Structure 1
Amino acid sequence: MVFAVAGATGHLGRLVLDSLLDLGVAPGDIVAIGRDTAKVSDFVAKGVVARSADYSDRGALDEALAGVDRLLLISGSEVGRRVKQHKNVIDAAKHAGVGFIAYTSAPHADTSTLALAPEHKATEAMVRASEIPYALLRNNWYTESYVQVAEQAKYTGLIIASLGDGRIASASRRDYAEGAARVLVAEAHEGQTYEFAGDTAWGYDELAEVVSEIVGREVTYKRVSSKEHRKILSKAGLDMGTAAFVVTLDTNTRDGALADANPTLSTILGRPTTPLATGLAEAYAEAEASRAAEAEAQGEPDTPQ
């Protein structure tokens, strides 16, 4: 059985490769597909097969998926172009005779008002129409997404957002990766749609408490209106389109688009999902270590002067 991960060179993809190996899949039965295969050279050294392909290059995808039995399609990062790109992967999978495809989607993609949902909804429809046996993995937010929030709060003491009391059922990227790997290797998940999320939903007051512990200073969550938030983001240097997008995501969160905490992911993992405090502290420490190593390599101080 040959297992392929499309999008293997990204953060989630690399963790899926780790999980597949941890689950006992032979390295030679794993195909890592991505644009820059140098990013998985450490896995290649272990025996994993790397194949270069861009989601926009159907011909390269046909070659990359040759001989693959089960495929994980990690959603692309180019918002606005993903439907066409994902179609290329799905069509190539069908051409190659892939027997199963799992796709990383968004929470309640078929009904959500989340700004990112439409591309995922369209991709889910294409997966179903392909007639390839499938599973849809609707991942909630990644806890690691809040590292930048913590980094900013370290210097400002504030977390500013327009999501009010909205709650987020995040889990760590490693949780989602292990869940995807377990779905990929087992044959009991065909036809399933899984709402993957953390066991507990949290709000920004709780986030501020966690960040306070991580950065070693008191951090406060400041609620602002959508209009005020756009002005703040624009003054910080974001263009109007990006500022509007961020505010829209906050509005979605305020309206409950990310609040669905449930035990689906933890059931598949066979363990609880990683709590916010643990996941964010680990991700923050990794980011700090990476930044310090980069600064040392460049002969620069690792803290602002």
Structure 2
Amino acid sequence: MIAVTGASGALGRLVIERLLGTEAPSSIRALARSPEKIADLAARGVEVVEADYDRPETLTPALTGVDRLLLVSSSEVGKRAPQHRAVIEAARAAGVGLIAYTSILNIDSSPMILAEEHRETEAMLAGYPGTVVLLRNGWYLENYFGDVAAALAHGAVAGTSGEGRISAAARSDYADAAAAVLRDPPATSTTHELAGDTGFTRAELAAEIGRQTGREIAFANMGEAEFAALLVKAGLPEGFAAVVADADAAAGKGALYSDSTALSTLAGHPTKTLEAAVREALTAAG
């Protein structure tokens, strides 16, 4: 039995879709806080169960009988460590043999605020009695779709990453890699630094948007506090805006760059290019 947490989220759902291409639906268990949101998966034969990170009593029953678990990191920054601990303890109690965890790229040296809870989770997993696979995911290309919309509206891409290169890949690339690990698990614990095949700067992102739209798109590099204030003005909550600005500043120091080819190797294909991602974002923007 293969289980995936956060199955109603974008990454979890994609992983399950990939697994359905090769595995019997009855061998896949989709865990979600709100099972009704993935009723379509249940209709396809996937076992759908309630599993709420904040309600530990739901977790051990949800993991009983599971051989391999993908722990998709929680989206609730600030609550991740205790939520992840609850899942890991439930997996231990249920005798889950393998946990794959979606961590963050370059965690050993990353200065990002977002990295801290991932470090805490990796430390918890260091004592797990089964096999542990750390999937240290880089940034999603989809994180920059908002930049495309902003460029269309204002003629510029804003950020605070300067000349820092970002090895982003599509969410689907990371899903393919996670599904591959769940299908064919390693014999021993292992760590994968997962990054897009080709890095880019935000200035190169702006240039690519300009090339595809035939417009002059500038890159406005600003200070971290100034960028955070801009994000708040654009509608982000103040705390989250600070986290996003912190991550972009860290990208300027190399935190989101890697020349690792582990992602395309695991996924079995090259990762999505910046050109393809911008084209997709422009299509979505209409």
- Which bin holds the TM-score, normalised by the shorter protein? over 0.9
Structure 2 regions of 5+ residues with no counterpart? none
RMSD across aligned positions (CA):
1.9
The equivalent residue for 1:296 is: none
Shift of 1:91: 0.6
Q: Structure 1 pair 214/75, CA: closer, same or farther in 2 (3 Å)?
A: farther
| Paired residues for 1:220-299 under 5 Å | 220-236=218-234, 238=236, 240-285=238-283, 287-288=284-285
Shift of 1:253: 0.8
Aligned 8 A contact 1:144 1:280 in 2: no
Among 145, 148, 162, which residue is 1:147 paired with?
145
For 1:14, give the aligned amino acid: R
Q: Structure 1 pair 4/238, CA: closer, same or farther in 2 (3 Å)?
A: closer
| Paired residues for 1:102-117 under 5 Å | 102-117=100-115
| Paired residues for 1:115-154 under 5 Å | 115-154=113-152
Separation of aligned partners in 2, 1:222 and 1:148? 15
Shift of 1:228: 3.4
Aligned 8 A contact 1:161 1:223 in 2: yes
Secondary structure of the structure 1 residue equivalent to 2:58: helix
Aligned 8 A contact 1:135 1:189 in 2: no
Secondary structure of the structure 2 residue equivalent to 1:129: coil
Among 33, 48, 51, which residue is 1:35 paired with?
33
| TM-score, with length taken from structure 2 | 0.93
| Paired residues for 1:1-305 under 5 Å | 2-22=1-21, 24-188=22-186, 190-213=188-211, 217-236=215-234, 238=236, 240-285=238-283, 287-288=284-285
The equivalent residue for 1:300 is: none
For 2:141, give the aligned amino acid: T
Shift of 1:213: 4.7
Secondary structure of the structure 1 residue equivalent to 2:113: coil
For 1:7, give the aligned amino acid: G
Q: How many residues get paired? A: 286
For 1:270, give the aligned amino acid: G
For 1:68, give the aligned amino acid: V
Shift of 1:239: 5.3
Q: Structure 1 pair 231/176, CA: closer, same or farther in 2 (3 Å)?
A: closer
For 1:246, give the aligned amino acid: V
Deviations 1:33-73 (A, max 9, x none): 01122222222221111001111111101111111111000
- More deviation, 83-92/209-218: 209-218
Aligned 8 A contact 1:167 1:256 in 2: yes
| TM-score, with length taken from structure 1 | 0.88
Shift of 1:189: 5.7
Aligned 8 A contact 2:74 2:84 in 1: yes
Aligned 8 A contact 2:149 2:285 in 1: no
Deviations 1:176-219 (A, max 9, x none): 00100101111326311000110111001211122235556332
Separation of aligned partners in 2, 1:39 and 1:218? 42
Aligned 8 A contact 2:131 2:187 in 1: no
Separation of aligned partners in 2, 1:239 and 1:142? 21
- More deviation, 215-224/72-81: 215-224
The equivalent residue for 1:299 is: none
- More deviation, 167-176/238-247: 238-247
Secondary structure of the structure 2 residue equivalent to 1:72: strand
Secondary structure of the structure 2 residue equivalent to 1:167: coil
Separation of aligned partners in 2, 1:33 and 1:72? 10
Shift of 1:244: 3.0
For 1:111, give the aligned amino acid: S
Q: Structure 1 pair 237/184, CA: closer, same or farther in 2 (3 Å)?
A: closer
